[in-house]
Amino acid sequence: MQQHCTVAMLFGGQSAEHEVSIQSAQNVHAALEAAGYDIIRIGVDRQGTWRLAPSVGLLDPSWPPVAMLPGGSGEIVVLDGK
């Protein structure tokens, strides 16, 4: 029996390779999806903000910012900006 697994995938970033990271992430996303993984997409914009992404592609500043909680539990929280 295959165990159900969720993967967080980060893409983008502040480097000059921002667009290359997005293109690579699209290929990785397709492979993970085909293998049956649930995928949490986190796009890192050019300013370094992590954003919960509904899809892999050009980053949208309206996507909610997120952070990972310390402690190794893998919890991600959406930041409300207040």
Q: What is the pLDDT of residues 4-35, one digit of tens each?
A: 789 999 999 999 999 999 999 999 999 999 99
More confident residue, 4 or 36: 36
Burial grade of 12 (CB within 10 A; 0-12, 13-18, 19 or more): buried
For residues 49 and 13, what is the distance between their CA atoms, to the nearest angstrom? 8
pLDDT category at 1 given cuts 50, 70, 90 is: very low
Q: Which two tokens stand for residue 74?
A: 């893998």
For residues 82 and 79, what is the distance between their CA atoms, to the nearest angstrom? 8
Yes or no: domain 6-78 corresponds to CATH 3.40.50.300: no
pLDDT digits 0-9 by tens, 52-82: 999 998 899 999 999 999 887 888 899 976 5
Locate the domains of the chain by residue range: 6-78
